[in-house]
Amino acid sequence: MSGADGWDADLLREGLVARDFTDDGVRLRGPVPWRGAGGAEARARVEIEVDERFPFYPPQVRLLDPGAQLEVTFHVDRAARPGVSGNLCLWDDAWPADIAPWTDPDELLSRIAGWLEQTAAGWPGDNVCDLERYLEADPTMFVLYDAENLARLKGHAVRTRRGSTSGTVEVWNTPHRLKKRAGRPGFSRADRQLAWVEDLGQLHRPVRSWADIHDVLGEQAASAEQLIAAGVVNLVLLRYQRGDQQSVLALTVKYAADEIKVRACESADTSSSTRQMRAGTMAPQLADVPIAIVGCGAIGSFTAALLFRAGARRLTLIDHERLRPGNVVRHLAGLEQVGAWKTDAVRNCLTAIDPAIDAVRALTTAMTSADYAKLLVQHHRIVVDATGSARATSMLAFAANTTNAEADKAVVTVCAQRDGDVVRVDRLPARGVEIFLPPLPALDDQNELRENGCGSPISRTPPTAVVAAAELACCVVLDELAGHRKLPTSVAFVSRPQPEQQYTHIGLVLPGSMPQDQVVK
Contact region with other proteins (CB under 8 A), list: 12-20, 140-148, 298-306, 312-320: 12-20
CB within 8 A of 280, min separation 6: which ones? Answer: 310, 311
| 3-state SS, residue 55 | coil
Q: Which is nearer to other proteins, 17 or 356 (CB)?
A: 17
Is 9 a binding residue for other proteins by CB under 8 A? The answer is: yes
Restricting to residues 82-121, name those near other proteins by CB under 8 A. Answer: 96-98, 100
Q: Which is nearer to other proteins, 99 or 510 (CB)?
A: 99
The whole-angstrom separation of Cα 111 and Cα 424 is: 52
Say how far residue 3 (Cα) sits from the centre of its chain: 31
Q: Which is nearer to other proteins, 56 or 401 (CB)?
A: 56
Q: Which is nearer to other proteins, 10 or 448 (CB)?
A: 10
- Long-range CB pairs of 440-446 (<8 Å, 24+ gap) are 440/498, 440/500, 440/503, 441/500, 443/418
Answer for which of 37, 40, 64, 510 binds other proteins (CB under 8 A) is: 64
Contact region with other proteins (CB under 8 A), list: 14-22, 158-166, 342-350, 479-487: 14-22
The number of helix segments (H) and strand segments (E) in the chain equals 12, 19
Q: Which is nearer to other proteins, 5 or 406 (CB)?
A: 5
Q: Which is nearer to other proteins, 67 or 300 (CB)?
A: 67
Residue 53 Cβ vs other proteins, minimum distance, rounded to whole Å: 11
Question: Which 3-state string (H, E, C) describes 321-384?
Answer: CECCHHHCCCCCCCHHHCCCEHHHHHHHHHHHHCCCCCCCEEECCCCCCHHHHHHHHHHCCEEE
The whole-angstrom separation of Cα 504 and Cα 499 is: 6
Residue 275 Cβ vs other proteins, minimum distance, rounded to whole Å: 18
Site pattern 17..46 for other proteins (x: CB under 8 A): xx-xxxxxxx--x---------------x-
Residue 83 Cβ vs other proteins, minimum distance, rounded to whole Å: 12
Question: Which 3-state string (H, E, C) describes 468-483?
Answer: HHHHHHHHHHHHHHHC
Q: By the 8 A CB rule, do 338 and 323 touch?
A: yes
Answer for which of 12, 13, 160, 467 binds other proteins (CB under 8 A) is: 13
Is 2 a binding residue for other proteins by CB under 8 A? The answer is: yes
Answer for which of 36, 54, 55, 468 binds other proteins (CB under 8 A) is: 55
Q: By the 8 A CB rule, do 311 and 284 touch?
A: yes
Binding residues for other proteins, total number by CB under 8 A = 30
Q: Which is nearer to other proteins, 26 or 277 (CB)?
A: 26
Measure the CA angle with vertex 429, ends 505 and 377; round to 5°.
125
Name the site residues for other proteins (rule: CB under 8 A): 1-7, 9-10, 13-14, 17-18, 20-26, 29, 45, 55-56, 64-65, 96-98, 100
